[in-house]
Structure 1
Amino acid sequence: MERAVLQITLFGLLLALAATQPNKDNWDIYSFHINSTVTSRYATTVITSRMANRMDESKEIEFHVRIPKNAFISKFRMFIDGQVYDGVVKGKEKARQQYTEAVSRGQSAGLVSSVGRTLEEFKTSVTVAAHKKVTFELTYEELLKRRLGKYELQIHARPMQPVKSFKVDVHIHEKSGINFVEVKGGLALADAISKTYADNEVWVNFYPTEDQQKTCTSCGEQGMNGDLVIVYDVNRDSGLGDIKTSAGYFVHHFAPSSLTRISKNVVFLIDRSGSMHGKKIRQTRLALIHILNDLSEDDHFGLITFDGSISYWKRELVQANQRNLESAKTFSEDIRESGATNINSAVLEGASLLNAHPREDSASILILLTDGDPTTGVTNLEQIQSNVRAAIADKFPLYCLGFGFDVNFEFLETMSLQNNGVARRIYEDSDADLQLKGFYEEVATPLLIDVTMSYNGGTNLTQTEFSQYYNGSEIVVAGQITDNDIGTFTPQVVAISSSKKMTFSNPNGTVESTGTESADHIQRVWAYLTVKQLLEKE
C-alpha cells in the first residue's frame, strides 16, 4: 500500500482554514468512534471519524474535533481510496510559514487553536471524489491532573449531525484500585451509558442511538456538541505513594492522605483599575467574600487593591477571626474601579507583606487577580518579572488569575511559573465568581511545604522540588533508573508538615518492577513531563 505524507501544521493561532468553509450538508458521518485508554492516570485517546461524499461531484470534507488543552497530538492519519496519509506535526514557527503555502498549493493542512476554558480545537479538510469515503484518525495523549481529590477525563464530541454508529469506549486501569467512578457532562444520557467493573479496572461505554443524539442536554436536531466527563480517583495510602517501574524508567505518584492541614498566610492582590468596571469587579467582590468565608481561624491574611496606586486593608497580616473577616468583607464590598494598572508595585507590596510577617511551619501564598497589562510605574514586562523573582526569592508561590480574553496571559503565566505557581484564565461569564472560588479551593488546604523528592539510583529526573502540596492534589515525578538496576533504586520524600519534618520512604527498602507490559506507557509519561517542563522553562 502506498503511503503518502499529509503536512499537518499545529499551532496556537486562530486562522481561517479556507475562504469558504465546507458545507456539512455535503457529507455524511456514518461512523464516529472515540476510544480512550487510561493507565495509571495517563490517557491515550483515539478519535476515528468515517465520512462519505454522497454527492455526484468532488466535495471538500472537514474534520473538526476538540481536545483537552493539556493534551498533545501524537498521531494523525487519513485513509482515502486505499491510501494512508500520515500527518507531520510541525513546530509553531515552521507552522506559521508553511500553513499558508500548503493551503495555496491545494494541500490539506490542519491547525490547533484555543476555544475555551479547557479545550482546543483541531481542524483539517480534504477534497473527496464523488461517492467516495474518507477516514480521519486523530490520537492525543495527556497526563490526568488530580484536582480536589479527583481526576477528570474530558471527552468532547461534536459531529454536529446524528451518526448511525456513534460510540465512546473508555477503559481505566489503575493497579492501586479505583475508589469511585462517575460520569457527567452534557452528553451524559443515563440510558446510553454502561459501566463495568473488574478488580482494578472499569469500562465506560456510551452508545447513543440517533434519536438519543438529539435529546441530551448538549444535543439538538444537528446532533451532539458537548462533553462526556469521566471522574474518578484511586485508592491511596498515607506513605510513599504509588511507584511504577519498567524497562529502566519509573513514575512516582505522591498524594499522601490523613495529614494535618497547615495554616496559611495568604495575600490577595485585587486589580481595581478602570478596565475592571462592571461585571468583572462585581464578580471579584462576590468571589472574595465567598473566599473569606472559607478561611480557617488559624489562617492569616491580607488584602491589597491597586490601580495606579496601592491601597491596604491593613498593613499587616491578621488572623482570620470573626471580627477581622467582617471588616475585610466590608472593605471588599467597597472596592471601586478607576485609574491605571501598576502590577509591579502591587506584587512587590504583596511579597513584602508576606516577608514581613513570617510564621514558622505555615504556608504562604500570593494571589494576583488582574485583567490588564501594566500601564503605569514599571511597564517593561521582563523587568517586572525580574523584580518579582527577586522579591519572592523562592519563598512562596505566586498564583496569577487573568480576567477575560484581553489580558496578557502569557506574561502572567511566565511570572507564575518563575515563582513556583500557576496562572489561570478566569472567563468573564455568569460563573466567574465560582471560577475564582474554585481555584482558591485547590490551594485552600496545604498539607506539606518544602517537599523534596529524591531518588538514589535515578537519573534524568523531572521536577523534584515543590514548595507546597495541597489536599486533593498530587505530585508526579518521572525519571530513568541508572543502568536499569532496580536493586539500587531508593526513592524518598522529605517535607515539613504542621511543625515537624516528615520522611516518606519504602519500609521494605526495595521497589518492585511492574513488568514489561507498561514499559512504553511509563516512558511516555516521563517524556510528557520532561517536554512539558522544558516548555514551561522556555
Structure 2
Amino acid sequence: SSEERSSVQTLLKQELLEDDWDIYSFHINSTVSSRYATTVITSRVANRMDQSKEIAFHVQIPKNAFISKFRMMMDGEVFDGVVKTKERAQQQYTQAVLLGQSAGIVSSVGRTMEEFKTSVTVAAHKKVTFELTYEELLKRTHGKYELQIHARPMQPVKDFKVDVHIHEKAGIRFIDVKGGLSTLANAVTKTHADKQASVYFYPTVDQQKTCERCGEQGLNGDLVIVYDVNQDNGLGDIRISDGYFVHHFAPSNLPRIPKNVVFVIDRSGSMHGRKIEQTRAALIHILNDLTEDDFFGIICFDQDIFHWKRELVPATASNVERAKEFAQSIFERGATNINGAVLEGASMLNAQSREGSASILIFLTDGDPTAGEINLEKIQSNVREAIAEKFPLYCLGFGSDVNFEFLEKMSLQNNGVARRIYEDSDADLQLKGFYEEVATPLLTDVTMIYVGGSNLTQTNFSQYYNGSEIVVAGEITDNNIETFTPQVVAYSVNRTVTFSNTSGSTDHPSETVTENLLQRVWAYLTVKQLLERELLLSGPEKEKVNKEALELSLKYSFVTPLTSMVVTKPQGEKSVLHKPKEGVTPLSQGRALLGSISGYPILVDHQTTSIVGTILINVFN
C-alpha cells in the first residue's frame, strides 16, 4: 500500500541519516621518476555517530601495479601491513576466519584498474586514516606514457587533492591531462619546465558533484597524466645510483623495416554478433594502414581453415581492396580449430623470405579449441616448434570467456605478448590500437650488452617498434662505474647497427635520485619477468624461479602471486589482502563454502576466489 511504501521510505531516510561517517580528507600523491610511479592514497575518515561504526576504504589501482604498503592509523596507533608468504598468511587467516571480521578485497573492475576494499570498526566520534601505496613502471606505447589515477571517494570531500610530480632526467617533451575528470578544467593546474612537471587537481565540493559520471556521491572518474620524454636517438637514457642502473632505449630516427604479417581470425560460432562485426571493422582499418613494401596474408577459421591467398602478397592498393572485400565476407559458423589455424599462419610466414623484413603473426580468438587438436599443451608445443623463435606471436583474446592463460603462455613461448580485447562498443578500436603498437618495426634481434653489469633483467628482444621502449635494469659489478660499458646491437634494414655511449649519455650518480629508486625499478622488473618465466617452466627450474621471485617479493614488500599482505587490525583482528587473476570479474557473484583448513570453514567469493572474513591481497598471473 502507499502507507507501507511511505513507512519504508521514512525508515530508509532515517537509516541514511544515522549512517553518518565523513571523509574529511582524501589525498592522492604520485611521484614519477625515471618512469617509475609511486602513488600514495590517504583517506581520513571520522565517525560522527554516537556509536561504533564499520567504515570503508574503497579505491581503484592500476592492474599493472604492485601494492607495497598499507596502513591504518587510529587513536595514535599505527597498524601496518606485512608482506608474507601465502602459507604464513593462510595460517593467520585460519585463526581469524570464525571471528566474522570485515573483508578486504581486490577485484578486477575493467580494462586497466582493480578495486581495493577494506573496512574497520571505528568507535563513536573517533577518526581513522587509511594509507595505501602502490608502485608501477609506466609502459611507453604510441609514443607516450600514461599515469592513470582513479578518484571515487564515495562522497564529496572538503579537502580533496591530487598531486602528481614528474622528474625525468632526459627532459619532458610534453605533458597533458586527460580522462573524465579533466573536464573540470578550473580544478586542474599544470606546470612544466624542462625536467620537471607537476599536475594539481583540487576540485571544490560543488565541482565534485558536477563532472562527468559524478553526482551526490562525489567524484567517479579518471585523471590520466600523459607525457613523453626527449628521446635520445643513440644509446638512450641510462640512470645510475647506489650500484644499480636503469636503461631506457627508444630510438626513433631509424628506417622502418618492411613487415610480413599474417592475421589469423577466429570465425567460429561463438564470434557471432558484435564480436565478428567489430573484428571485420578493425581488420579493414588495419589493412588501410599497410604500406606497399609490406607483405600480408589473412586466414580465418572455424573447424576448417580458409585462406584469402595461399601465400603472402604485397600490400598494393589493389591487393588491399580485394582483401577488404574478403574481410567483409567473414561470418561466424562452426567449431574452433586453433591448432590448425595458428600452424597454417606460421607455415605461410616460414615460406616467405624474411631478408630485410620483420615477420609478425597475429592471432585472434574468443574461445577454447573444440576441433582438431584440443590438448592445450600439445597445441603450445606444436606452435613453438613451427615458429622456432623466428618471429613473435601476438595472441588477442576477445571477451571474458577466452582462456587467457593459455594464450598468454603461447605468446610468451614465442617472444610475443597476449592482450585481452574487452567486449565493449570500442572493441574495434582496441584491436586497431594494438596493431598500431606493432605496425612499425624499427629493429629486430635486439641484444642489450652491459660489460661490468650483473643480475640483469631481460636483455634480448626479438623486435623493437616505433613508439615503444625497451627497459633493462641491473646491478653494476662492485659498483665500479668506470668499467661499466653499455651497448646495444641490433639488426636494421639489411644491416647490423650498434649503439654505444659515444655521446656521454650515461647518467652520473651525482644527479639526485630518490633513495633506492633504481633498485626498486630493478626489483619490480625482475619479479614481473620471473613470474612470466615461471609460466613456461616445470620441475626444478620452475621451483628455482619461484623461489627467486618469492625472495624478491618479500624483500621489497611487493604483493605478488607468491605473497600476501597481512594486516593486524584493532582488537587484534588479522586480515589478509587479496588480488585476482587478470580478467577476473568484480566481487558480485555470491559466496560458497569451499571446505575447511584445520577445522575452520572457508567461505570463497565466486570469480575472485577471495576469502570472506579476511583481507587477502594475493596476486595471480
TM-score (normalizing by structure 1): 0.93
User: Which of 517, 533, 541 is matched with 1:537 structurally?
Assistant: 533
Alpha-carbon distance change, 23 to 97 in structure 1, aligned in 2, over 3 angstroms: farther
2:521 corresponds in structure 1 to 525
Matched, 1:160 2:168: no
The amino acid across from 1:521 in the alignment is L
Q: Which one of 214, 223, 226 corresponds to residue 218 of structure 2?
A: 223
Partner residue, 2:374: 379
- 1:425 and 1:198, CA in 2 relative to 1: closer, same or farther beyond 3 A? same
- Computed over aligned residues only, the root mean square deviation of the Cα atoms, in angstroms, reads 1.8
Which of the numbers 344, 349, 352 marks the counterpart of 2:347? 352
The reply to whether residue 64 of structure 1 matches residue 55 of structure 2 is: no
Assess if the C-alpha contact under 8 Å between 2:235 and 2:505 holds in 1.
Answer: no
Name the counterpart of 1:150.
144
In 2, distance between residues paired with 1:24 and 1:418?
A: 57
Give the equivalent residue in structure 2 for 1:29.
23
1:505 aligns with 2:500: yes
How far does residue 217 in structure 1 lie from its aligned partner after superposition?
1.5
**Where does residue 361 of structure 1 map in the other structure?**
356
Partner Cα distance (1:198, 1:320) in 2: 44
Structure 1 330/99 Cα, relative in aligned 2: closer, same or farther at 3 Å?
Answer: farther
**2-structure distance, mates of 1:328, 1:292:** 8
Distance 2:102 2:131 in 1: 15
- Is 1:169 the equivalent of 2:163? yes
Instruction: Report if aligned partners of 2:38, 2:134 keep a CA contact under 8 Å in 1.
Output: yes
Deviation of residue 514 (structure 1)?
Answer: 2.4
2:313 aligned partner? 318
Structure 2 spans left out of the alignment, 5+ residues: 1-15, 535-621
- Structure 1, residues 173-203: CA drift from partner, whole Å, max 9, x if none? 0011100000010111110011123331011
Partner of 2:34: 40
User: What residue is the counterpart of 1:203 in the other structure?
Assistant: 198
Q: Match for 1:481 among 468, 472, 476?
A: 476
Change (3 A) 1:99 1:231: farther
Larger mean Cα displacement after TM superposition, 315-324 or 98-107: 98-107
User: Secondary structure of 2:114's partner?
Assistant: strand
CA distance in structure 2 between the aligned counterparts of 1:316 and 1:223, rounded to whole angstroms? 57
Check 1:100–1:231 CA distance in 2 against 1; reply closer, same or farther (3 A cut). farther
1:429: which partner in 2?
424
Pairing of 1:98-137 with structure 2 (within 5 A): 102-137=96-131
Instruction: State the SS of the aligned residue for 2:405.
Output: helix
What secondary structure is seen at the aligned counterpart in 1 of 2:140? Answer: coil
Deviation at 1:499, TM superposition (A): 1.7
> How far apart are the structure 1 equivalents of 2:296 and 2:90?
46
Match for 1:330: what amino acid?
Answer: E
Matched, 1:334 2:329: yes
State the AA in 2 paired with 1:416. Answer: S
Deviation at 1:82, TM superposition (A): 1.3
Partner of 1:74: 68
The residue identity in structure 2 corresponding to 1:258 is N
CA distance in 1, matches of 2:439, 2:194: 34
CA–CA distance in structure 2, aligned partners of residues 367 and 330 of structure 1? 20
Where 1:415 maps in the other structure, the secondary structure is helix
2:240 is the alignment partner of 1:248? no
- Corresponding residue to 2:459 among 446, 461, 464: 464
How far off its partner does 1:489 sit?
Answer: 0.5
From the superposition, tell whether residues 386 and 216 of structure 1 become closer, same or farther in structure 2 (CA, over 3 Å): same
What is the SS of the residue equivalent to 2:435? helix
Alignment partners' CA distance in 2, 1:524 and 1:336: 49
- Aligned-partner SS, 2:516: helix
Amino acid aligned to 1:297 = E
Taking the aligned partners of 2:348 and 2:91, their CA distance within structure 1 comes to: 48
Is the contact made by 1:486 and 1:512 (CA closer than 8 Å) also made in structure 2? no
Q: How far has the Cα of 1:509 moved from its partner? A: 7.4
Kindly state the Cα deviation for residue 91 of structure 1 after the two structures are TM-superposed.
5.3
Instruction: Note the C-alpha offset of 1:98.
Output: 6.1
Aligned to 1:193: 188
Q: Counterpart of 2:390 in structure 1: which amino acid?
A: K
User: Structure 1: any 5+ residue segments left out of the alignment?
Assistant: 1-21
- Work out whether residues 450 and 496 of structure 1, in 8 Å CA contact, stay in contact via their aligned partners in 2: yes
User: Structure 1 residues 97, 435: closer, same or farther in 2, change over 3 A?
Assistant: farther
Taking a change above 3 Å as real, the CA distance of residues 28 and 107 of structure 1, as seen in their structure-2 partners, is same
- Which stretch of the first structure deviates more once superposed, 184-193 or 82-91? 82-91
| Secondary structure in structure 2 of the residue aligned to 1:440 | helix
Report how far residue 107 of structure 1 moved: 3.8
Aligned CA distance change for structure 1 residues 164 and 89 (closer, same or farther; 3 Å)? same
1:378 Cα deviation after fit: 1.4
> In 1, are the aligned partners of 2:237 and 2:507 still within 8 Å (CA)?
no
Give the conservation status (yes or no) of the 8 Å contact 2:339–2:379.
yes
| CA distance in 2: counterparts of 1:326 and 1:25, whole angstroms | 64
Letter in 2 for 1:66: Q
- Give the 3-state SS of the residue equivalent to 2:181 in structure 1: coil
1:233 corresponds, among 228, 235, 238, to: 228
Displacement of 1:338: 1.1
Cα deviation code 1:43-77 (max 9, x no counterpart): 00000001111222211111111111110000000
Task: Give the letter for the 1:449 counterpart.
Answer: T
Q: Distance in 1 between matches of 2:434 and 2:468?
A: 12
| Distance in 1 between residues matched to 2:287 and 2:325, nearest whole Å | 11
The whole-number CA distance in structure 2 between the counterparts of 1:325 and 1:88 is: 57
Q: Distance in 2 between matches of 1:409 and 1:332?
A: 25
Inter-partner Cα distance in structure 2 for 1:303 and 1:366: 10
SS, match of residue 145 in structure 1: coil
Moved more, 466-475 or 356-365: 356-365
Contact 1:273 1:306 in 2 (8 A): yes
Of 415, 426, 443 in structure 1, the residue corresponding to residue 438 of structure 2 is 443
Give 1:40 deviation, angstroms.
0.9
Asked if the contact 2:19–2:49 (Cα under 8 Å) also holds between the matched residues in 1, the reply is: no
Q: Calculate the TM-score normalised by the size of structure 2.
A: 0.81
Say whether the 8 Å CA contact 1:59–1:130 is kept in structure 2: yes
Q: 1:339 to 1:407 in 2, by over 3 A?
A: same
- Aligned to 2:283, what secondary structure does the other structure show? helix
Shift of 1:83: 1.0
Distance 1:226 1:246, change over 3 A: same
Q: Which residue of 1 aligns with 2:284?
A: 289
Q: Which moved more, 1:96-105 or 1:71-80?
A: 96-105
Distance 1:98 1:267, change over 3 A: farther
For residues 96 and 351 of structure 1, the distance between their equivalents in structure 2, rounded to whole angstroms, comes to 45
Distance in 2, matches of 1:47 and 1:337, equals 46
Aligned to 2:392: 397
Question: 1:490–1:510: 8 Å Cα contact kept in structure 2?
Answer: no
Deviation at 1:39, TM superposition (A): 0.4
Distance 1:24 1:294 in 2: 60
- Report Cα offsets for 1:388-432 as digits up to 9, x if no partner: 111111111111111111111111111111111111111111110
* Distance (whole Å) between structure 2 residues aligned to residue 140 and residue 179 of structure 1: 26
Cα pair distance change 1:326/1:531, threshold 3 Å: same
**Cα distance change of structure 1 residues 432 and 326 upon mapping to structure 2, 3 Å threshold:** same
User: 1:96 Cα deviation (Å)?
Assistant: 7.1
2:448 is the alignment partner of 1:453 = yes
Separation in 1 of the partners of 2:281 and 2:121?
A: 52
Give the direction of change, closer, same or farther, for the CA distance of 1:518–1:82 in structure 2 (3 Å limit).
closer
| Number of aligned residues | 517
**Are the structure 2 counterparts of residues 25 and 196 from structure 1 closer, same or farther at C-alpha, using a change threshold of 3 Å?**
farther
Cα separation, 1, equivalents of 2:85 and 2:107 = 14
User: Is the CA contact 1:77–1:137 (under 8 Å) kept in the aligned structure 2?
Assistant: yes
